[in-house]
């Protein structure tokens, strides 16, 4: 018996020959017929039938085709039932697939709730690495207040004010540092002695007592994406023992000659309700930060035009500001954050005394304090000459203030009683999102001694990495107790 391919070819040839006189098949039509018959080769019975027809074995072909018909009918019936079941299954699965549209926001909510639950866990702080040198001499005292920016990388950029001025003890310096994300070390990027009787325009080793500082992520003039952390000063413009010679604001890298004096008493409020401070006071400074351009913005005292201050220099714009209403409209149309600089000689930030509810510098041992740094319930307590200041630089590259709540509990100590003490910290975004909760527990080193200044013992703590600084200031005849810490 010839193969089905030969039989097909014979049939095609006959078709062509029969239609040559009238309407012969085109080449495409011949191919279609050939392909159609070839598709039937998967059925052995049908192949036998076709071959039988081609060889004129009609009886064999008839019998074989009957078997094909019966087999095909049964197969079609089975296929129909299977298709019906499959269709029902697909309908069911399709309705379930429709749920995917509503699952996405639900999954996001679950992740958000999980993150919130994690943030609500109070995480204990562990001391890691000393960053100060302990000494019984009071000249080794370190201020407990800080200006801190928590970078989304986990690193923290900190200004630590000098505890005293007109002194040459190394630890009395005004210090600018970078804290590693793992809390293992700090890198001092710059230090300055603080003087009230000496002045350097580009401070290499000393800075004027009458001034404030910040440590900020600033772009370059020609590239808003080129962001690096830069020390920014607000200081006098000449040496004097008075406080009247206010000079303005300048970036350390671009130098004193880039100093800009903001127009006096021309203020605006940012999106968080924090107002700038342009009263030319040496210890109260608040400057606008542009979250789109990553620069400081202020109205120049002499020209009344906006000046953008980058880490490598200034850009003098063509935008003139005549009054506070125009400045506020400019701020409302953009994305701005007010940065509150910190006073160079802020020894201890202010907190509220548990016993009498008075707000005072947290400088007393064995006293319980509570309070916050930031803006809460319409009241701003950030930087300047009374408070610490805490900001975060987000993954979206926005500088945002955060609320730093604290509460410490410590008992009175005497020769027979040395109670333990604990301070708890809560970090919260301005939108009310809990960023982290932390606890530091202290036990006296010797009977009859206190636990140190516990109210401000946790100077800073980065919510991205859990790395920070602990400094009780003084404990058991020792100063210089600052060290890095980490929450696990």
Please write the tens of the pLDDT for every residue from 209-238: 889 999 999 999 999 999 999 999 999 888
Token code pair at residue 79: 């296929």
Q: What distance in Å separates the CA atoms of residue 198 and residue 2, rounded to the nearest whole number?
A: 114
Half-sphere exposure of 36 (CA within 13 A, CB side): 8
pLDDT at 105: 74
Which residue is associated with the tokens 């007592």?
Answer: 209
Do residues 380 and 389 touch, judged by C-beta distance below 8 A? Answer: no
Residue 121, φ and ψ in degrees, nearest 5: -75, 125
Nearest to 392 by CA among 345, 356, 359, 428: 428
Token code pair at residue 93: 């699965």
Do residues 370 and 363 touch, judged by C-beta distance below 8 A? Answer: no
Do residues 332 and 324 touch, judged by C-beta distance below 8 A? Answer: no
Token code pair at residue 167: 């002194």
Do residues 131 and 469 touch, judged by C-beta distance below 8 A? Answer: yes
Residues in the chain, total: 488
Q: What distance in Å separates the CA atoms of residue 115 and residue 104, rounded to the nearest whole number?
A: 17
CA 144 to chain centroid: 25
DSSP 8-class letter at 378: T
Do residues 175 and 207 touch, judged by C-beta distance below 8 A? Answer: no
Task: Report in angstroms the alpha-carbon separations of 373 from 324, 369, 380, 429.
Answer: 27, 13, 8, 12
468-472's contacts with Cβ under 8 Å and 24+ in sequence apart are: 468/125, 468/156, 468/179, 468/183, 468/438, 469/131, 469/146, 469/158, 469/179, 469/186, 470/125, 470/127, 470/440, 471/132, 471/142, 471/144, 472/442
The contacts of residue 488 (CB under 8 Å, 6+ apart) are: 123, 124, 126, 466
Residue 403, φ and ψ in degrees, nearest 5: -90, 130
Q: What distance in Å separates the CA atoms of residue 254 and residue 256, rounded to the nearest whole number?
A: 7
β-pair partners for 178: 157, 187
Q: What distance in Å separates the CA atoms of residue 423 and residue 451, rounded to the nearest whole number?
A: 11
pLDDT per residue as tens, the chain (488 positions): 455 566 666 666 766 666 555 566 666 666 666 665 665 555 555 556 555 555 545 555 556 556 655 665 666 677 667 767 776 776 666 666 666 666 667 666 666 666 666 667 899 999 999 998 888 887 888 899 999 999 999 999 999 999 888 887 777 789 999 999 999 999 999 999 888 888 888 888 888 888 999 999 999 999 999 999 999 999 988 876 566 688 999 999 999 999 999 999 999 999 999 999 999 998 999 999 999 999 999 999 999 999 999 999 999 999 999 999 999 999 999 999 999 999 999 999 999 998 889 999 998 887 889 999 999 999 999 999 999 999 999 999 999 999 999 999 886 665 556 678 889 999 999 999 999 999 998 877 776 677 778 888 999 999 999 999 999 887 777 888 889 999 98
Q: Are strands 434-442 and 122-130 parallel, antiparallel or unpaired?
A: parallel
Please write the tens of the pLDDT for every residue from 54-96: 554 555 555 655 665 566 566 667 766 776 777 677 666 666 6
The contacts of residue 345 (CB under 8 Å, 6+ apart) are: 161, 162, 163, 164, 165, 194, 209
Do residues 52 and 60 touch, judged by C-beta distance below 8 A? Answer: yes
Nearest to 162 by CA among 183, 147, 150, 151: 147
pTM metric for this prediction: 0.77
H-type helices in 19-99, by residue range? Answer: 27-38, 44-54, 58-97
Helix axes 27-38, 4-18, angle to 10 degrees: 150
């Amino acid at each position: 018996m010839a193969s089905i391919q030969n039989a097909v070819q014979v049939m095609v040839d006959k078709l062509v020959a029969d239609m040559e006189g009238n309407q012969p098949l085109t080449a495409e039509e011949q191919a279609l017929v050939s392909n159609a018959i070839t598709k039937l080769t998967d059925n052995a019975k049908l192949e036998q039938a076709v071959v039988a027809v081609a060889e004129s074995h009609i009886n064999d072909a008839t019998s074989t085709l009957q078997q094909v018909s019966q087999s095909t009918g049964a197969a079609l019936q089975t296929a129909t039932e299977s298709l019906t079941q499959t269709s029902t299954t697909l309908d069911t699965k399709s309705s379930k697939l429709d749920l995917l549209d509503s699952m996405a926001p639900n999954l996001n909510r679950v992740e958000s709730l999980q993150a919130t639950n994690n943030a609500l866990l109070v995480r204990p702080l562990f001391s890691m690495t000393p960053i100060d040198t302990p000494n019984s001499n009071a000249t080794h005292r370190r201020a407990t207040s800080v200006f801190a920016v928590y970078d989304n990388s986990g690193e923290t950029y900190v200004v630590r004010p000098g505890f005293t001025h007109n002194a040459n003890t190394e630890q009395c310096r005004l210090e600018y540092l970078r804290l590693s994300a793992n809390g293992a070390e700090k890198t001092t990027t710059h230090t300055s002695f603080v003087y009230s009787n000496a002045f350097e325009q580009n401070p290499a080793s000393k800075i004027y007592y009458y001034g404030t500082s910040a440590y900020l992520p600033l772009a370059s003039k020609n590239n808003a994406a080129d962001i690096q952390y830069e020390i920014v000063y607000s200081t006098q413009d000449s040496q004097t023992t008075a406080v009247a010679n206010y000079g303005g604001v300048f970036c350390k890298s671009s130098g004193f000659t880039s100093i800009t004096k903001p127009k006096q008493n021309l203020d605006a409020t940012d999106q968080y309700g924090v107002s700038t401070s342009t009263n030319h006071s040496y210890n109260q400074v608040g400057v606008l930060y542009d979250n789109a351009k990553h620069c400081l913005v202020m109205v120049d005292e002499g020209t009344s035009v906006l000046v953008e201050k980058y880490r490598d220099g200034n850009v003098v714009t063509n935008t003139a500001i005549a009054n506070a209403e125009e400045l506020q409209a400019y701020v409302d149309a953009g994305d701005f954050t007010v940065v509150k600089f910190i006073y160079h000689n802020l020894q201890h930030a202010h907190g509220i005394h548990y016993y009498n509810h008075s707000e005072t510098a947290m400088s007393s041992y064995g006293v319980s304090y509570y309070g916050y740094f930031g803006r809460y319930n319409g009241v701003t307590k950030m930087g300047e000459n009374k408070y610490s200041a805490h900001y975060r630089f987000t993954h979206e590259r926005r500088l945002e203030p955060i609320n730093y709540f604290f509460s410490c509990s410590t008992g009175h100590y005497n020769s027979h009683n040395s109670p333990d003490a604990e301070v708890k910290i809560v970090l919260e975004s301005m939108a009310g999102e809990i960023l982290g909760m932390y606890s530091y527990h202290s036990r006296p080193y010797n009977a009859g001694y206190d636990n140190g200044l516990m109210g401000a013992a946790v100077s800073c703590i980065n919510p991205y990495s859990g790395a920070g600084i602990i400094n009780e200031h003084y404990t058991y005849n020792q100063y210089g107790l600052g060290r890095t810490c980490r929450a696990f």
